[in-house]
Amino acid sequence: MIDEIFLSQLKQSVDLFLPETILVATFIIALIFDLIYKNSRYLIAVISIIGLVFSGIFLVNQSTSSAAIFSGMLSFDPFGNFFKILILLTTIIIVLMSVFSKELYEGGRKTGEYYILIVGMTFGMFLLAVANNLIIVYLAIETMSISSYILAGYTKEIKRASEASLKYVIFGAVSSGMMIYGISLIYGLTGSLTFDAINSAMISSDISGLTLLIAGLMIIAGIGYKISAVPFHFWTPDVYEGAPITITAYLSVASKAAGFAVLIRFLKVSFFDSTNYANDEIWTLIGTIDWQIVIAILSVLTMTLGNLVALWQTNMKRLLAYSSIAHAGYILMGVVVMTDIGVTSVLIYFFVYMIMNLGAFLVVMIIANKTGNEDIQKYNGIGHKAPFVSACMVIFLISLTGLPPTAGFIGKWAVFTAVLKSEYIWLAVVGVLNSVVSLYYYVKIFRNMYIRNFEDDSEIYEFSPGTYILLIILAVPTLIFGIYFTPLLDWAESSVKIFLGV
Amino acid sequence: MFTILGVGPLTWITFLPIVSMIILLLIPSGRDEKSKMVSHILFRWLTVLTTFLQLLLALAIYFNFDFGLTGINQQSTMQFVERVRWIEIQNLPLLGNLKIDYFVGIDGLSAPMVLLTAIVCFAASFASFGIEKGVKGYFAMYLLLDTGMMGVFVALDFFLFYVFWEVMLLPMYFLIGIWGGPRKEYAAIKFFLYTLLGSVFMLLVMIALYFAVGTFNMFDMMDPSKYDPSSILAGADTFWRYVAFAALFIGFAIKVPSVPFHTWLPDAHVEAPTPISVILAGVLLKMGTYGMLRISWPMFPDAVRYFQDYIAFVGMVSIVYGALCALGQHKVGKRDFKKLIAYSSVSHMGYVVLGMAAMNPEGMIGAIFQMFNHGIITSMLFMIVGVIYDRAHTRGLDDFGGLANKMPVYTGIMAIAFFGAIGLPGLSSFISEFLVFVGAFKTYPVLTIISGSGIILGAGYMLWTLQKVFFGKLPERWAGPWDPTGKKYKHDDLMPVEYAALVPLAIIIIYLGIYPIPITDLMNTSINHLIDFVKTTGSFAAHL
Amino acid sequence: MSLIDIAFYFFAILIIASAYIVVTSKNIMYSAFALLFTFFGVAGIYVLLNADFLAITQIVIYIGGILVLIIFGVMLTNRITGVDIKTGTMSKFQIWMTAILCVIAAIGLILIFTQTNWNTALSPTKASTIEDIGTLLLTDYLIGFEIASVLLLIAIIGAALIARRKTN
């Protein structure tokens, strides 16, 4: 069975798999160093950063390659590469953020495993972004989830953290149970687990609609849990509130990115009539099930519920949790469109969302380091105590609302463009109304910062230069991409092609 | 077109405030009392200098303006045009080639607005001298707001227009929210939410128009032959064109504001600090009506025809309702001087809408001239309120009386603004209101007659105010000097800074009242062309 | 009804009944022992499906490994055995809603299983599947195999982390 062809293919696969291999190597090296140097504070963080950067270099190099590797289990394509770079950037920023986190290092806590698990989680998300087989999807989701369960409860002496972790595990187990049930149904229907083989099986034979709907919904539920789409979002607020801020930020960006990558790939490769791929504009779904409507309903529910509930939140982490649910809804609008323009808009939105959301969480972390918690009341008068940090926060929040001249506007604009192009006008109207609603709670934050207790003679907070640099790293692109977004659009546009199997 | 350092005057006039803002942010505010005072003086005069340079630029533009060019729908007849490719991406999936230009230029429609913005911002910068807390932030926001407003009036690319339109929201929020009155939080967020609600619909229409013509260039969007026949906005008198027009109209009407979208305005005005009230009334409200004329009217002529009657009705309702509410301030509520003027703004902007709906040269020129006059007069009125509020810390209409004896010069200047607001012959707004009525009467005689009651009501509330506040007996509590220490107010009448803000505006009111040609000629060619264009394009002609 | 059918129903009832005890029993020890029968029943089903390797794995790993560990854990921590592990109470409404949902789900699943045109394979001719599984795991499913190893490593680290006593 093992022949020359297989070996040469394997060699090619291993070559392409280099970024992931580096991650695993980093994981192991970090583990060993953690055993040797037990009490070093930042060593493992440094090792992780080095590994991540190396991985990134190879990742950027293969941004144009497009191939199915490991017997069609993984599809390496520009689309997956985009998400991998996004996840990697997020990871690097999160690791840098964690170094400045007070909550994480409190009481001399050992943080070696923390960074190790982040690297492991990155590995899982990388695989999810390129997975082309439901078994791999499942394994990747588990790799990512198990790391994140532990990370969410990393500050385990704090009650709400361990509670968050437990809730996360239970909901996660239920959703992955549902997902694997759906996977088994799909296997029963099509006799295959690879996306393109599912597609060809569906084209060639008659598939029962109801079973396919149930199976598809179960798989979407599993993914929906990862992207916290309503009604699979129940865990989000509690986990986001309980987990360390850095992990909350990480979950809200990276694990969502991985979830969206696999959702789009699964829908586009499995459920579209692949005989029609030549034509960009006309995508037809196979079978009788209108997946577009399913996703549209998810999208409307997600953004509306996220925004409405966010209005009442008084804890910043919880507020941003609901806001991130709402943003998942906006991104789902792009998924609804399902054409290339829809996917492009998702990519643009995601990149923008990454920058601004990480920025907002960074500010929350910086302020929590000073005030000790994330209560929105604590933000009163921060505008004068920490002028630069507050100004950056305003930029991030304006961007999250989607007002020009910030990057968030470009994201919203791209998504609405995609939705209007496919003439889903009602969806666009719901979307813009939602962004008006969202303004209210974002404004609430900088209202507290600037309007409440605005005293000229209050104390001034001092921050370390590192946090300022991180803030600048995030705030400047938020503005730059709002004014000059050609590179972003170019990159998203060139990354839209999904490798459609052999 | 003249250039300065190779850059056109419109770019200068728009971005000069941003440059100043950056300089201002780099100046440290100082910790101890003395350095604080020095820095505050620096911030104030930097802003005055910036707005003064802006005014000079506006005047230079005015004197270099060719009154014979039509503008409106052709780049070739726009003036001071600058066009640089801003974003260009080839072969985007389905979007084709995305092109967004940095495209600015003015014609007879926008030139008066640019001039108005420069004048009002300059005058309001003097009125800002009273700001004591967070001076640096205040002036930074003020300058940012200035750029946003100027940008809206010069932008000829819809995307650029939208960006400027939204840029202005945040500084306005902070200016009301931080430096405003007791209910500032409520007023600021109300303003923010209302205007954002309007502008998100504008965003959707903008994207739909982009799909129809393939660019963000406003001129292409005005040309029916550029529309892609498969687009939902193609053709004329279709359902979606009406929807798009209505969405745009609501977006702009919120800004004007027309009844029933006006409820944010009294709150915002009452709570905003004086200079911001001045800018709100003087410039921001005009952006709504300007947007209608720049975008809605030429791009959707068929829908204008369809909705014309309703728009005129909205104008009429705004006039009468605004005037009644203003009159009501004498009897109900807190009897707030500022609220009275806020409602009078709703009423006066109603004339503009009525004149625009009339679609004839008299009405239209009257409408735009009214925009200009209202900008100047209402700015003055708000400053006048600011003057007594700064001294007495109250704005109650019933709290005063006999101020004419205490502050004779002030009363004299005030009288010009008051009679200007009433529309007394010899003052500028008489001409504009007269033109609006003449124009509107041709098209809508009944509505115009009803609207005429707005003039009478206007005279009523203004004269009543005059009588209550300035004549009669001075209450005991104000018998002494405003400032017994003599530190801030050396005498009871106006201070030099207040003269600087008020006198030029008064001169403009009188001058234009006697000789309106400088402004009416400025817009004449363009407005006539606009009316012709709207009437001959699309299916407007078919309806007549 | 053939012998195979009888065996299937026997195992199916065994699985459901013992799983019910696992969930409802108030004593964690009883739950653990009931779990043994559940695992055993599943192994039986695997045998009926000709999945010999899976059946053996099920017995060796789940019964021989995991379950024994659980029972040891329970026995060594004497405090847990007596604890009533059910938490909270459900209202009548919740119970009814759950019941209704379960019935709907059951009907849906029965419909699915009876109505669907499944992609069935011929009954296997090979005596043993071990060789095929081994080959596949190191060829087509190589990457899955590797991912699983990383996954387990992460899980071990996590377990150690959770179990670690508070230091410093």
Locate all alpha helices (DSSP H) within B128-259, ordered by sequence: 135-154, 158-167, 169-179, 184-213, 218-222, 239-255
Q: Hey, what amino acid is at B94?
A: L
Q: Kindly list the residues from chain A whose CB atom is less than 8 angstroms away from the CB atom of residue C54.
A: none
- The pLDDT of residue A282 is 58
Mean pLDDT of chain C: 84
Q: Do chains B and A touch (3 or more CB pairs under 8 A)?
A: yes
On the question of pLDDT at B485 being above 50, the answer is yes
Mean pLDDT of chain B: 88
User: B223 or B104, which is more confident?
Assistant: B104
CA distance C139 to chain A (A): 7
CA distance B519 to B181: 36
Q: Could you tell me how many CB contacts below 8 A there are between chain A and chain C?
A: 100
CA distance A130 to chain B (A): 22
CA distance B300 to chain A (A): 19
Q: Kindly list the residues from chain B whose CB atom is less than 8 angstroms away from the CB atom of residue A484.
A: 86-87
Q: What band does B253 get if pLDDT is binned at 50, 70 and 90?
A: very high
* Cβ(A235)–Cβ(A102) below 8 Å: no
- Which chain C residues have any C-beta within 8 angstroms of a chain A C-beta? 108, 111-112, 115-119, 121, 135, 138-144, 147-148, 150-151, 153-155, 157-158, 161-162, 166-168
Q: Which of B286, B343, B292 is nearest to B318 (CA)?
A: B343
The 10s digit of each residue's pLDDT in B106-128 is: 998 999 999 999 999 999 998 89
Element (H, E) at B119: helix B111-127
* Cβ(A254)–Cβ(A91) below 8 Å: yes
- The pLDDT of residue B37 is 86
Q: Kindly list the residues from chain B whose CB atom is less than 8 angstroms away from the CB atom of residue A478.
A: none
| Residue tagged 């006799």 (tokens) | A191
Q: Does A409 touch chain B (CB under 8 A)?
A: yes
pLDDT 10s per residue in chain A (502 long)? 557 888 888 888 888 899 999 999 999 999 999 988 887 788 999 999 999 999 999 999 887 788 888 888 898 889 999 999 999 999 999 999 999 988 888 877 888 889 999 999 999 999 999 999 999 999 999 999 999 999 998 888 888 888 889 999 999 999 999 999 999 999 988 888 898 888 888 888 777 778 888 888 999 999 999 898 888 888 999 999 999 999 999 999 999 999 999 999 998 888 887 666 555 555 677 777 788 888 999 999 999 999 999 999 999 999 999 999 999 999 999 999 888 888 889 999 999 999 999 999 999 999 998 888 888 888 888 888 888 899 999 999 999 999 988 999 999 999 999 998 888 899 999 999 999 999 999 999 988 888 887 665 667 888 889 899 999 999 999 999 998 888 888 888 888 877 765 4
Closest chain C residue to the Cα of A120, Cα to Cα = C154
Q: Kindly list the residues from chain A whose CB atom is less than 8 angstroms away from the CB atom of residue B174.
A: 450
Question: What is the secondary structure of B25-43 as a DSSP string?
Answer: HHS---SSHHHHHHHHHHH
| CB-count burial class (<10 Å; 0-12, 13-18, 19+) for C156 | exposed
Q: Kindly list the residues from chain A whose CB atom is less than 8 angstroms away from the CB atom of residue C158.
A: 117, 146-147, 149-150
Q: Which of B489, B461, B272 is nearest to B392 (CA)?
A: B489
- The pLDDT of residue A211 is 85
- The pLDDT of residue A279 is 53
Locate all alpha helices (DSSP H) within A63-158, ordered by sequence: 78-99, 102-105, 112-130, 134-152
Q: Does B184 touch chain A (CB under 8 A)?
A: yes
| Residue tagged 């080639």 (tokens) | B97
On the question of pLDDT at B102 being above 60, the answer is yes
Q: Which residues 12-31 of chain B have a CB within 8 Å of chain A?
A: none
> Can you tell me the mean pLDDT for B162-181?
91
Q: Does A123 touch chain C (CB under 8 A)?
A: yes
* Cβ(A409)–Cβ(A353) below 8 Å: no
> Can you tell me the mean pLDDT for B194-198?
91
Q: Hey, what amino acid is at B200?
A: V
Residues 6+ apart with CB under 8 A from B332: none
SS (H, E, C) A146-190: HHHHHHHCCCCCCHHHHHHHHHHHHHHHHHHHHHHHHHHHHHHHH
CB-based contact B87 A489, cutoff 8 Å: yes
Nearest residue, CB atoms, A74 vs list C115, C143, C155: C143
Least confident of A22-26, A395-399, B206-210, B397-401: B397-401
The 10s digit of each residue's pLDDT in B499-537 is: 888 999 999 999 999 999 888 888 889 999 998 888 887
> Can you tell me the mean pLDDT for B76-88?
88
Closest chain A residue to the Cα of B205, Cα to Cα = A420
The alpha carbon torsion through B312, B314, B315, B321 (nearest 10 deg) reads 140
CA distance B335 to B331: 7
Distances (CA, A) of A316 to A241, A277, B118: 8, 45, 41
Q: Does A147 touch chain C (CB under 8 A)?
A: yes
Judging by DSSP bridges, how do beta strands B79-92 and A67-69 pair with one another?
unpaired
On the question of pLDDT at C154 being above 60, the answer is yes
Q: Which of C141, C144, C142, C137 is nearest to A139 (CA)?
A: C144
User: According to the per-residue pLDDT averaged within each range, which of A362-366, B300-304, B387-391, B421-425 is highest?
Assistant: A362-366
Closest chain C residue to the Cα of A128, Cα to Cα = C147
CA distance B287 to chain A (A): 18
Q: Which two tokens stand for residue B446?
A: 């009944």
Element (H, E) at B81: strand B79-92
Mapping DSSP to helix (H, G, I), strand (E, B) and coil, where does residue A334 land?
Answer: helix
Q: Kindly list the residues from chain A whose CB atom is less than 8 angstroms away from the CB atom of residue C168.
A: 107-110
The 10s digit of each residue's pLDDT in A377-397 is: 888 888 888 888 999 999 999
* Cβ(A148)–Cβ(A255) below 8 Å: yes
Q: Kindly list the residues from chain A whose CB atom is less than 8 angstroms away from the CB atom of residue C88.
A: none
Q: Kindly list the residues from chain B whose CB atom is less than 8 angstroms away from the CB atom of residue A451.
A: 177-178, 184-185, 188
CA distance B252 to A120: 53
| Residue tagged 């195992």 (tokens) | C11
CB-based contact A280 B94, cutoff 8 Å: yes
Residues 6+ apart with CB under 8 A from B197: A433, A436, B254
- The pLDDT of residue B544 is 44
- The pLDDT of residue B543 is 46
- The pLDDT of residue A64 is 79
> Can you tell me the mean pLDDT for B250-277?
91
Model ipTM value: 0.92
Q: Does A214 touch chain C (CB under 8 A)?
A: yes
CA distance A477 to chain C (A): 34
Mapping DSSP to helix (H, G, I), strand (E, B) and coil, where does residue B102 land?
Answer: strand
Q: Where in chain C are the domains?
A: 1-86, 127-168
Q: Which two tokens stand for residue B410?
A: 């002030």
CA distance A412 to A404: 10
CA distance A475 to chain B (A): 17
Q: Which two tokens stand for residue B71?
A: 């503008």
On the question of pLDDT at C77 being above 50, the answer is yes
Q: Do chains C and B touch (3 or more CB pairs under 8 A)?
A: no
CA distance C140 to chain A (A): 5
B95, B178, B250: which to substitute to probe chain A, counting the most A Cβ within 10 Å?
B95
* Cβ(B320)–Cβ(B344) below 8 Å: no
Neighbours of chain C (3+ CB pairs under 8 A): A
CA distance A395 to A380: 18
CB-based contact B93 A344, cutoff 8 Å: yes
CB-based contact B204 A436, cutoff 8 Å: no
Q: Does A106 touch chain B (CB under 8 A)?
A: no
Alpha-carbon radius of gyration of chain A: 22
Q: Does B4 touch chain A (CB under 8 A)?
A: no
DSSP 8-state secondary structure symbol assigned to residue B89: E
A343, A432, A454, A479: which to substitute to probe chain B, counting the most B Cβ within 10 Å?
A432
CB-based contact C151 A24, cutoff 8 Å: no
CATH code: domain C1-86 is 1.20.120.1200
* Cβ(B349)–Cβ(B319) below 8 Å: no
CA distance B193 to B26: 31
Q: Could you tell me how many CB contacts below 8 A there are between chain A and chain B?
A: 103
CA distance B184 to chain A (A): 9
B29, B39, B203: which to substitute to probe chain A, counting the most A Cβ within 10 Å?
B203
Q: Which of B304, B319, B317 is nearest to B357 (CA)?
A: B304
| Residue tagged 């200035």 (tokens) | B146
* Cβ(C156)–Cβ(A88) below 8 Å: no
Q: Kindly list the residues from chain A whose CB atom is less than 8 angstroms away from the CB atom of residue C148.
A: 139
